Amino acid sequence: MITRESQQMFNFALTMKRIRIALFISGNGSNARNIINYFENHAQISVGLVLSSAENNQMAEFCAERAILFAHQAGIDSEAYLKFCQEQEIDWVILAGFLKKIPSSFIHAFPHRIMNIHPALLPNFGGKGMYGKHVHEAVAKSSVRFSGITIHLVNEEFDKGKMLAQFALTLQYPTTAEEIERQVRDLEITHFPSVIESVLLDGIL
């Protein structure tokens, strides 16, 4: 029997729109793939767009199989980014290894709704030119005891937006940039999707 309560729940579920996220990438997209898998069949969050600054046939295919729009946008073009996001009714933008500077006008269009992952413990090893392998090479050279990941909001200064979460790992020397990258990647795969989920659904961690 359909009770009034269950009908109300059903009506609520019908009207509730899932939060739609866009993933911006530049590299091979291992974080993006992991995030897409995590939110597949999620009741409240869905991935609506993957925008890549580089050609990426494998990712294009991966998205096509899941009915997610894949867009290749080589230049820094705020209007093009906005058009893709508006067409897909995007609520949040997640930078998952996106190496182009985000234009101010785009940041203003998504106030406090752009998130980035950085492969080190900010404020150290951040700023212009610090991305991907360059970060791990600098960490290995400096002989610091810890590295890790930082997930933060994006503002107009490189790697300076409000921090949302950090996860650290202890480094054993001797080590190499490649080994640090592997360990950091494990942290990213383990934590990034659930941090996105907590921030989007609860606003807190």
- Nearer to ligand GAR by Cβ, of 18 and 185: the residue is 185
If one asks whether residue 27 binds ligand GAR (CB under 6 A), the answer comes out as: yes
- Nearer to ligand GAR by Cβ, of 18 and 34: the residue is 34
Rounded CA-CA distance 118/132 in Å is 8
Query: Looking up tokens 């046939």, which residue turns up?
Result: 57
Rounded CA-CA distance 197/115 in Å is 12
Size of site (CB under 6 A) for ligand GAR = 15
**Which residues from 115-174 bind ligand GAR, rule CB under 6 A?**
117-119, 131-132, 135
Q: Which of 18, 20, 30, 153 binds ligand GAR (CB under 6 A)?
A: 30
Q: Which of 21, 23, 31, 90 binds ligand GAR (CB under 6 A)?
A: 31
Cβ 25 to ligand GAR shortest distance, Å: 5
Query: Looking up tokens 């101010």, which residue turns up?
Result: 104
Which residues are known catalytic residues?
Answer: 118
Q: Give the range of 21-29, 85-93, 101-109, 163-171 binding ligand GAR by CB under 6 A.
A: 21-29
Rounded CA-CA distance 161/145 in Å is 25
Asked whether the bond before 174 is cis by omega within 30 degrees of 0, the reply is yes
Cβ 120 to ligand GAR shortest distance, Å: 8
- Nearer to ligand GAR by Cβ, of 129 and 203: the residue is 129
List C-alpha distances in Å: 28 to 31, 99, 126, 147, 189.
9, 12, 21, 22, 14
How much helix, strand and coil, in percent to the nearest 5, is found in the chain? 40, 20, 40
**Contacts with ligand GAR, residue ranges (CB under 6 A):** 25, 27-31, 96-97, 117-119, 131-132, 135, 188
